[in-house]
Amino acid sequence: MRRRSLLRGGALAGAGVVAGAAAGASVARGDDTPVAAPSFTTGTGVIPFHGVRQAGVTTEPPAHAAFVAFTLPGGTDRRALGRMMRLLSDDAHRLTRGEPALGDTDAPLAVLPARLTITFGFGPGLYRAAGETAPVRDLPAFKIDRLEKRWSGGDLLLQICADDPLTVTHAQRMLIKDTRPFAAVRWVQTGFRRSPGMHEPGFTQRNVMGQLDGTANPTGDVMDNAVWAADGSSQLVVRRIRAEMEKWDLLSVTDKENSVGRRMDTGAPFTGVKEHDEPDFAALDSTGLPVMPDYAHVTRAHVTDPALKILRRPYNYDGVPNAAGHPDSGLVFASYQADIERQYVPIQRRLADKDLLNEWITPIGSAVFAVPPGCAADGWIGERVLG
């Protein structure tokens, strides 16, 4: 038998196997209904850029994100900052509605916005350059921190989120190109969440350690009071948190749950049966000990005043493993709140003091930014500060 005939016969046999498998799958379903064609609406989704508040804060988080921080050169003044923000606001407006930015030589990459949001944050250094008093300041030192300069600080932040990684990459390139005359890239952190269609909208994100992350986020009217100031501004903390996966993998499921205070499968607190059941911190077990341990992450992060809640908007990261195969994984933790000093800092102090989860996580980056109000169609982000 010649080789060509043998290959042709093998190909036909393979096709038969595939067809048989498909038929078997149809029988297993108990019907002959054809499989629905995939939906292509994800790529065309548009979130408006203009408004009283910036998009990308309380917006349902897309699957992919890039956080890009910049450093301003010495001598930067208000006029330069104003020119920069006018240009970047125009870029963001065009890109988020599926149009190329001015001077974009790869326009076809811009036509699928995939719910793209571009959110701007101003660091303390930007306010100093503008001759203004900054509404935010660097976080105090926490004993658990092992901060690295390459992941910390920044005068300007761009948070770029979309349901498609190519959309994020293209928007990032366009925005960096137009920022280049005014500022230097300080760091870039990329992250991911579940892709569209994997869960119903509003689901709680799982991090790389398998935990549900963001169960206690504010909603409804509480969200308005906890996240936004009256003028439409907010404040952002970005923390890069390395997961010590080699140590975490040695734990039993019970040990993992005890460190958090929630069930790993459902996310329910120890005193409840569903994820969103309110934990009962006064409940005692048969030995008289608290059912919700004092050292558990949920206990340490709990706040009693809804106005003091923070909005967790995290993204996982997974870098290149080292030569021994140890992972470089963790969380780009983004926390939005109306007032960092009043809301975020007290929570982080309690976590740093006695959170058992600290045995398996390490903060290696930290930055704070004020998130200016949004702008009208004829305006630009930051005009109230820099105009």
pLDDT band at 10 (very low <50, low <70, confident <90, very high): very low
Cα 151 from Cα 337, distance rounded (Å): 21
Please report the beta strands in the chain, taking only residues with DSSP state E, as ranges in sequence order: 64-71, 117-122, 156-162, 184-192, 205-206, 212-213, 234-243, 311-312, 315-318, 329-337, 361-371
Q: Residue 7 above 50 pLDDT?
A: no
Flag whether the pTM goes above 0.85: yes
Residue 19: what pLDDT? 46
Q: Report whether 298 contacts 260 (CB < 8 A).
A: yes
* Sign (positive or negative) of CA dihedral 319, 322, 327, 331: negative
Q: Residue 20 above 50 pLDDT?
A: no
Could you tell me the two tokens for 306? 């809804």
Measured between alpha carbons, how far is residue 377 from residues 51, 52, 94, 160, 372 in Å?
Answer: 8, 11, 11, 20, 16
Residue 144: is it exposed, middle or buried by C-beta count within 10 angstroms (0-12/13-18/19+)? middle
Q: Which of 2-16, 21-35, 234-248, 371-385 has the lowest mean pLDDT?
A: 2-16
Measured between alpha carbons, how far is residue 104 from residues 4, 100, 145, 281 in Å?
Answer: 49, 6, 41, 55
Catalytic residue numbers read: 213
Treating both helix axes as pointing N-terminal to C-terminal, what angle do 78-96 and 165-179 enclose, rounded to 10 degrees? 160
State the chain's maximal CA–CA distance in angstroms: 84
Q: Residue 28 above 70 pLDDT?
A: no
Return the closest-CA partner of residue 214 out of 89, 55, 333, 116. Answer: 333
Could you tell me the two tokens for 243? 């997961």
AA identity, residue 7:
L
pLDDT band at 11 (very low <50, low <70, confident <90, very high): very low
Q: What tens digit of pLDDT does each residue of 109-143 get?
A: 999 999 999 999 999 999 999 999 999 999 999 99
Residue written as tokens 């892709």? 195
Q: What tens digit of pLDDT does each residue of 217-249 get?
A: 999 999 999 999 999 999 999 999 999 999 999
Listed by start position, the domains of the chain span 46-386
Q: What angle is formed at CA 291 by the lines to CA 290 and CA 296, rounded to 5 degrees?
A: 90
Q: How many residues does the chain have?
A: 387
Residue 199: what pLDDT? 84
